[in-house]
């Protein structure tokens, strides 16, 4: 029986997008349950930031086997930036890493992100979305810094949830 390649690709593409949408929804469903269980005295932002830290620890450890210094500091930093951008791509975003003006400085940009849309469905403030992503990335880099004995830092310069049109992070090695 012949295979209709276009039909199969369309089906796979649709399934990918459905799975990507569920990533964000699952996080916010979990957030609602955690807030309900924690009671009225807990701040929603504290719950979200703690979740970002826990997730970031796991994700940061997953980066370690793929990182090395074989291509020097600039190659290492670019690979790290691409790994962060790849996380967004996996979630359904459009992201990339590019070199900065200074050696070892990388900018991670995301021009399409599914998180603000999902957050709106669950009544999550946009500032929480921005701070959660920043905390996630910062926590991911803690183990990278520790195990490779370098101080890698990241700072958020722009955020889609703040109405700035794109996410922009500066990734750099702290001296």
**Where do the structural domains in the chain lie, given as residue ranges?**
5-173
* Model pLDDT, residue 120: 95
Residue ranges of alpha helices (H) inside the chain are: 5-38, 44-63, 72-91, 115-121, 126-148
Q: Which of 81-85, 102-106, 170-174 has the lowest mean pLDDT?
A: 102-106
Q: Does the pLDDT value for residue 17 go beyond 80?
A: no
Q: Does the pLDDT value for residue 16 go beyond 80?
A: no
- Tens digit of each residue's pLDDT (9 = 90 or more) over 117-132: 999 999 999 999 999 9
Which CATH number does 5-173 carry?
A: 3.30.1380.20
Report which of residues 23 and 82 the model is more confident about: 82
Residue 104 DSSP SS3: coil
Residue 101 DSSP SS3: coil
* Model pLDDT, residue 103: 82
* Model pLDDT, residue 3: 84
Cα distances (angstroms) measured from residue 100 to each of 45, 136, 162, 169: 32, 22, 23, 11
- What does the chain come to in residues? 175
């Amino acid at each position: 029986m012949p295979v209709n390649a276009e039909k199969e690709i369309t089906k796979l593409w649709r399934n990918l997008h459905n799975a990507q949408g569920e990533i964000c929804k699952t996080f916010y469903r979990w957030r609602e349950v955690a807030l309900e269980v924690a009671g009225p005295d807990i701040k929603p932002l504290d719950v979200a930031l703690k979740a970002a830290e826990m997730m970031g620890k796991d994700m940061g450890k997953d980066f370690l086997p793929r990182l090395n210094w074989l291509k020097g500091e600039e190659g290492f930093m670019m690979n790290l930036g691409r790994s962060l951008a790849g996380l967004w791509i996996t979630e359904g975003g459009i992201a990339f890493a590019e070199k900065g003006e200074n050696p070892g400085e990388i900018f991670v940009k995301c021009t399409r992100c599914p998180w603000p849309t999902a957050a709106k469905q669950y009544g999550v403030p946009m500032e929480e979305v921005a701070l959660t992503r920043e905390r996630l990335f910062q926590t991911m880099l803690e183990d990278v810094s520790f195990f490779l004995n370098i101080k890698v830092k990241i700072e958020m310069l722009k955020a889609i949830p703040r109405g700035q049109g794109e996410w922009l992070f500066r990734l750099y090695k702290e001296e």
